Amino acid sequence: MLGHEELIQPQSYKWFFETTTAVEGHMHAIVRTVVAARTKFQNAEILETASYGKCLVLDGRIQSSAADEFIYHETLVHPGLLATEGAPARALVIGGGEGATLREVLRCPTVSRAVMVDIDDEVVALCRTHLPEMHQGAFDDPRTELRHEEARAYLEHTDLTFDLIVVDLVEPLADGPACLLFTKEFYALIRDRLAPGGVMTMQAGMTKVGELFFFSAVHRTLREVFPVVRGYQAFVSCYGTPWGFILASKRTDPASQSAAAVDRLATERMSGKPRYWDGQTHLHAFNLPRFIRQAIDTQGRIITDKHPLIVT
């Protein structure tokens, strides 16, 4: 253990201030900037922070950190892997530049083909080089098919169907690449590319008090497309806020799965033991508090191509 005299004093750090809302933010002490670049689509940085290690930052917002990315990525992927009817064979990842979402999908040994579509090849290349602890070789897995194109165009033209589709996209910023990937029309494309017993999972923004407009709007929009829509959440430390996720399917309802069933399916379908997700975590995540349930029932609008929702 370091003695007090050996500790680096706070004033010796540079600080990264992330705005989480128009009136709030979260500060991180920066050890070093690993790389910074302007891609064709967004500003990308990989920063090493004192608390969370290396972080991927896109357009000024942290996407994941080395210390707690397992919480985000297991929460994003595992409910879907464990809710498909039968063991999943084909999976599609939309976005997911770090490769960690792909990594979690590939933990399922029955997945024989995993397509990852991320439009920003420069971000993927940066992550491939500088974040090996996150992708853990997933890009080089023989089951992986990596494509750099618009996800919407891919869905419109592919004739493949998938047992699992995971949407791991940045929020739809005004100048970002994801504006039309959170609309009713886009979700209808996903529905049409799912197998009958297939499942979609996605990240859906903050679930903190006073900031449920995005989560509730996406939830409302998905209900126009899918018969089963279930929101859930996890606290992701590096974000400094609870984070929302949504599972949508044609048939399977994750809220009907018991803790014992989730643990059994995890043993059957996953290689290695998850660090975060299990049956008890599943029950906790899908049992949303009352204020969020009320927001889902009473707030939110349908997001369409003509009236997209922009996060500021």
- The mean per-residue pLDDT over the stretch 86-101 comes to 97
HSE-CB of 220 using CA atoms within 13 angstroms = 19
68 labelled catalytic: no
Q: Among residues 68, 120, 163, 168, which one is catalytic? A: 168
Which one is predicted more confidently, 215 or 19? 215
Confidence band of 177 (pLDDT split at 50, 70, 90):
low
SS3 assignment, position 253: coil
Confidence at residue 312, expressed as pLDDT on a 0 to 100 scale: 66
**In the numeric block, which tokens belong to residue 81?**
């892997």
Confidence at residue 60, expressed as pLDDT on a 0 to 100 scale: 92
Confidence band of 311 (pLDDT split at 50, 70, 90):
confident
CA angle 150, 156, 158 (to 5 degrees): 95
Instruction: Return d(Cα 19, Cα 26) in angstroms, integer.
Output: 6
Strand residues in the chain grouped as ranges (E)? 14-19, 25-38, 43-49, 53-58, 61-65, 90-95, 113-117, 144-147, 162-168, 194-206, 228-236, 241-249
* pLDDT mean across residues, the chain: 93
- The mean per-residue pLDDT over the stretch 73-90 comes to 97
Tracing tokens 């508090």 back to the chain, one arrives at: 289
- The mean per-residue pLDDT over the stretch 171-199 comes to 87
- The mean per-residue pLDDT over the stretch 132-153 comes to 97
Confidence at residue 13, expressed as pLDDT on a 0 to 100 scale: 86
SS3 assignment, position 12: helix
Domains and CATH numbers, the chain: 9-65 (2.30.140.10), 69-298 (3.40.50.150)
- The mean per-residue pLDDT over the stretch 247-252 comes to 95
**In the numeric block, which tokens belong to residue 280?**
């008890």
**In the numeric block, which tokens belong to residue 275?**
């660090």
Rounded percentage of the chain residues whose pLDDT exceeds 70: 95
* Angle at which helices 279-286 and 69-81 cross, to 10°: 90
Those residues with Cβ within 8 angstroms of residue 191's Cβ, 6 or more apart along the chain or in another chain: 200, 225, 226, 248, 250
- The mean per-residue pLDDT over the stretch 42-63 comes to 96
**In the numeric block, which tokens belong to residue 43?**
């500003």
For the chain, how many residues are written?
A: 312
- The mean per-residue pLDDT over the stretch 18-46 comes to 93
The answer, yes or no, to whether residue 302 has pLDDT greater than 90, is yes
User: Is 191:250 a contact under the CB 8 Å cutoff?
Assistant: yes
HSE-CB of 259 using CA atoms within 13 angstroms = 8
Confidence at residue 12, expressed as pLDDT on a 0 to 100 scale: 82
Instruction: Return d(Cα 20, Cα 134) in angstroms, integer.
Output: 23
Confidence at residue 284, expressed as pLDDT on a 0 to 100 scale: 98
| Core vs surface per residue 27-61: b (16+ CB within 10 A) or e | ebbbbeebeeeebebbebbbbbbeebbbbbbbbeb
> What burial class does residue 6 get, using C-beta atoms within 10 Å of its C-beta: 0-12 exposed, 13-18 middle, 19+ buried?
exposed
- Per-residue model confidence as pLDDT tens digits over 188-220: 999 999 999 999 999 999 999 999 999 999 999
Confidence at residue 218, expressed as pLDDT on a 0 to 100 scale: 96
Confidence band of 5 (pLDDT split at 50, 70, 90):
very low
